[in-house]
Structure 1
């Protein structure tokens, strides 16, 4: 089955068997030969990203149908198959995943000295699972695979975390995301009972009764809201970020938090349109609260990573407002922030990682005046700070502005609160940047002042190029996803 699955994925995004093979090969190499193990992992992830992938070359943006569809019977039931495919909504998730994994391996190149091959194996297995989730067209597999993604992340936080609370944070992350998905597991048998299949392409044409739609929507909402995360089930995210190593924070901010929003777009909105329209206030309310609450909470934090960790909560809840607006502006505008969110917080976490590697502390009160001791790092972090503020010309702006327009068409109060939250987010972003960069440095606490080396600069460059590229030339998003978004809106009969 695994061989056939890998063959199916090879038609989708290049040599996807590479992460699987790359995760198995290091297990046969002695721990003493850490450099070959790292090279194997890095090469496997780079080949997955750089090999001429079929979706980027042959993807047809003029159709909303899933492309490169493959099926595999994996359970002894006639109508339950493994369906995979890709459309304009999932294309960027695949590209983002294959982009971030080589960077995570590079970030941990020198820091993951203990259990090096286990780290490579966990990273590549996580890549394979995330690509599988992005391409999955079956709700049953969309439940199974996202529940597998936290396992490598649990290991990375628990083994390579930086503080004593890492075990607690790892279990908290795993339990929150797993228990929330139990509700979706209860909904799948009900879907199977009515339709006799779990093929989403058939389910999209199935009409559920209004009462059943509401029940199924609530079950899927409980599962996806934890992964976004939405208030009040967001507690696990800051804790996981603070305790995770830098590479773990990069991947945690870049990919797993998209599982919830991807699930809303893939299943909840198109399958249960009536329930989606009726439940808009139940998404607007916690999302608006989160957008206001998280910047206010951030201003009280003293740990640099925790300050940055709260920003994804606000940005992803703005995405849920866009998706719940049920119009082209809102739903279409929610895709670019998800891709941008895979670049902005990871870049900021990398900046904190550079500081921590040199000074072994993340307390904001010990920092100041780095512009005079590390002049290149403030320049790099300034670009990421602008993107975190959703400044025009950056990748965040091109999505958050349409979201505001779409939300205003549905509810002007929610749009106003979202705009206020963006202002508060800009305020704490500037405060954090000024706190680290300006003022007088403290030689009593900080001793090693060295700018990012060549390896670290090479890691930063792809993020900076991506932030500017998507901000200056955002047309790449509408070209690839416009048809898919239009079909989603029309299928749900949204106005």
Structure 2
């Protein structure tokens, strides 16, 4: 099995399954659903097999596959996996089957062909996201980074709320603009490598070769040009992440999508943006990253506070949760550009934990909204009296979202703040205010929706059914387990973060300790 193309299999299985789902007969909706779920479970098994074989103390990139793709451009089909990508591939592989089960009935009231399309689009997104995580060729990454917008556009615009078309167009336009700017930067990066005849035999898109040249100072380009190229990449990733003020497409897209689609977007697709900041922005442009880090940290802190404050003011339960994600992505980006081992490890762990907590909270809220038929917070009250399991699971997911100690997001948020404080203490202190704001928006939401007397309209709200428990239970278990024992993820992430810091020539700031010598402080 040493020569088995594990990474190709990871994305090829859902891609082929999507094609099969589309051509299945539409006499019944069940074959399409079962095929999609079966393919997603196969991907999960493959991802677990890869994780078991991954050597955290081995080479930086493992399971490497390299084949010629477009030799004239120096582009190759090059795949490889480090610890950060492994964590996100596992997150994707775990969430997609749960989202398919959560959205099992989302297209039941539509034509049967649309049911096939709905489930096929989920598999297409999964395939493209996985390629983005494992690509080691810049052009290959770019192609799939942009291609995933197409199935996401149809998932948002074809299924969901009354304003879904407008939300889908806004999502597509924002991300296309970012992608086009990134394309110019990709072309510029290729031109820079093509000029370095003593370093490269020709222009190349091989990520590893470019990073080696950049870290050795052999790209030879004008620093102003490298700064411009960095900004081209960073803009595209900031839109997808999303980083304030490029976030405005997210609330509408999340609210107007089906809950399963919204979680696919916020918990999985948007992670490609933050992952790419770690892999491409920092490692391809180490000097530019250091130059712009204070400005990006400032934007991240604004996003943290902004998202939390706006969440408090929302009257729509789904929009409130969407704004919490803007705040959480601010934490992730803050840790990345703090450029410390604690900050970047915390950011990677935060990507995983945010995916789990947001999936749990948004899906449970979606189950509630589907019962009552409204997203207005004021329409609820007393739900815990008629649906105690729904209320209890909502509370646990909410407490995870506000980073309660003992639940997974606490550890990642703590690492981000500690890692940031050593280099940007003021930013860390301001970001800490979001902990208080998070407690306000989550606990106040729970009070208004779940406690108090049950309104007459809410007395018929039923509790979670077995299908919904199958979705929610693994997420809550994962949040609890990773909250008390995050070591399995940290063991694979730490070496990858160490490689990045070495590549960009950054070390953790030395601690400042008061030392006395004969009563004198030094």
Q: TM-score, normalised by structure 2?
A: 0.90
Question: What's the counterpart of residue 282 of structure 1?
Answer: 295
CA distance in 2, matches of 1:27, 1:78: 34
Q: Please give the alpha-carbon distance, in whole angstroms, between the structure 2 residues aligned to 1:327 and 1:355.
A: 41
Q: Is the 8 A contact 2:386 2:461 kept in 1?
A: yes
CA-CA distance at 1:17 after TM superposition: 3.0
Counterpart contact for 1:13–1:53, Cα < 8 Å: no
1:139 aligns with 2:134: no
Please name the residue that 2:23 is paired with: 28
1:290, CA displacement in angstroms? 1.0
Quote the residue 2:60 is aligned against.
Answer: 65
Partner of 1:462 in structure 2?
474
CA 1:150–1:448: 2 relative to 1, 3 Å: farther
Which of 270, 280, 283 is 2:283 aligned to? 270
* TM-superposition CA deviations, 1:43-97 (whole Å, max 9, x none): 1111111247442121010135211111222224162212111011100111111
Partners of 1:181 and 1:52 lie apart in 2 by: 28
Question: 1:192 & 1:66 partners in 2: Cα distance?
Answer: 22
Q: Classify the secondary structure of the residue corresponding to 2:477.
A: helix
- Maintained 8 Å contact 1:395/1:467: yes
Quick one: distance in 2 between partners of 1:13 and 1:400? 33
Provide structure 2 residue ranges, at least 5 long, that are not aligned to the other structure: 194-202, 508-522
Residue 499 (structure 2) aligned to one of 482, 487, 490:
487
Query: What's the offset of the Cα at 1:373?
Result: 0.8
Tell me how far apart the structure 2 counterparts of residues 415 and 475 of structure 1 sit (CA, whole Å): 24
Question: How many angstroms apart in 2 are the aligned matches of 1:52 and 1:348?
Answer: 25
User: Is there any run of 5+ residues in structure 1 with no aligned partner, and where?
Assistant: 1-6
Contact 1:10-1:17 at 8 Å conserved across structures: no
2:436 to 423, 448, 459: 423
Do 2:386 and 2:460's aligned partners in 1 also have CA atoms closer than 8 Å? no
Deviation at 1:8, TM superposition (A): 9.2
Q: Distance in 2 between matches of 1:328 and 1:67?
A: 21
| Secondary structure at the counterpart of residue 79 of structure 2 | strand
1:86 corresponds in structure 2 to: 81
Task: Give yes or no for contact 2:354–2:409 (8 Å, CA) kept in 1.
Answer: yes
Corresponding residue to 1:298 among 297, 311, 325: 311
Q: Could you tell me how far apart the structure 1 residues matched to 2:4 and 2:116 are?
A: 25
Structure 1 residues 52 and 399: CA distance shift in structure 2, 3 A = closer
1:104 match: secondary structure: helix
> Residue 178 of structure 1 is aligned with which of 167, 176, 179?
176
Residue correspondence of structure 1 range 110-125 to structure 2 within 5 A = 110-113=105-108, 114=110, 115-125=114-124
Identify if the C-alpha distance between structure 1 residues 52 and 177 changes in structure 2 by more than 3 Å, giving closer, same or farther.
closer
Name the residue aligned to 2:251: 238
Of 385-394 and 24-33, deviating more is 24-33
Contact 1:169 1:239 (8 Å CA) reproduced = yes
Rounded to whole Å, the distance in 2 between the matches of 1:301 and 1:79 is 50
CA change 1:9–1:465 in 2 (3 A) is farther
State the structure with more CA Rg.
2
C-alpha separation in 2, matches of 1:52 and 1:325: 30
SS where residue 192 of structure 2 aligns? helix
Could you list the per-position Cα deviations for residues 162-199 of structure 1 after superposition, in whole angstroms to 9, with x for gaps in the alignment?
2x211000010111111112221111122212221010
How far, CA to CA, are the matches of 1:171 and 1:38 in structure 2? 27
Native 8 Å contact 1:298 1:428 kept in 2: yes
SS in 2 for 1:229: coil
> Mapping of 1:7-46 within 5 angstroms?
10-12=5-7, 16-46=11-41
Aligned to 2:242: 229
Cα shift at 1:447: 5.0
Tell me by how many angstroms 1:16 deviates: 4.2
Q: Would you say 1:168 and 2:180 are equivalent positions?
A: no
Q: Report the Cα distance in structure 2 between the residues aligned to 1:481 and 1:64, rounded to whole angstroms.
A: 13
Please state how far the C-alpha of 1:266 moved relative to its aligned partner: 0.7
* SS, match of residue 77 in structure 1: helix
1:413 maps to 2:413: no
Secondary structure class of the residue paired with 1:72: strand
Q: C-alpha separation between the residues in 2 aligned to 1:254 and 1:222?
A: 20
State the secondary structure of the residue aligned to 1:205.
helix
Residue in structure 2 matched with residue 348 of structure 1 by the alignment? 361
Q: C-alpha distance in 2, partners of 1:63/1:369? A: 54
More moved, 187-196 vs 221-230? 187-196
- Match of 1:153? 152
Instruction: Report runs of 4+ in structure 1 exceeding 6 Å deviation.
Output: none
Residues 8 and 364 of structure 1: CA distance in aligned 2, closer, same or farther (over 3 Å)? farther
Is the contact made by 1:10 and 1:16 (CA closer than 8 Å) also made in structure 2? no
Contact 1:64–1:88 (8 Å) recurs in 2: no
* Aligned counterpart, 1:4: none
Partner Cα distance (1:328, 1:277) in 2: 15
Helix, strand or coil at the partner of 2:408: coil
Aligned to 1:322: 335
CA distance in 2, matches of 1:89, 1:23: 27
What does residue 438 of structure 1 align with? 451
Shift of 1:28: 2.6
1:291·1:418 contact (CA, 8 Å) conserved in 2? yes
Classify 1:9/1:278 alpha carbon distance in 2 versus 1 (closer, same or farther; 3 Å): farther
Name the TM-score, length of structure 1 as normaliser: 0.95
Contact 1:180 1:223 in 2 (8 A): yes
Structure 1 counterpart SS, 2:64: strand
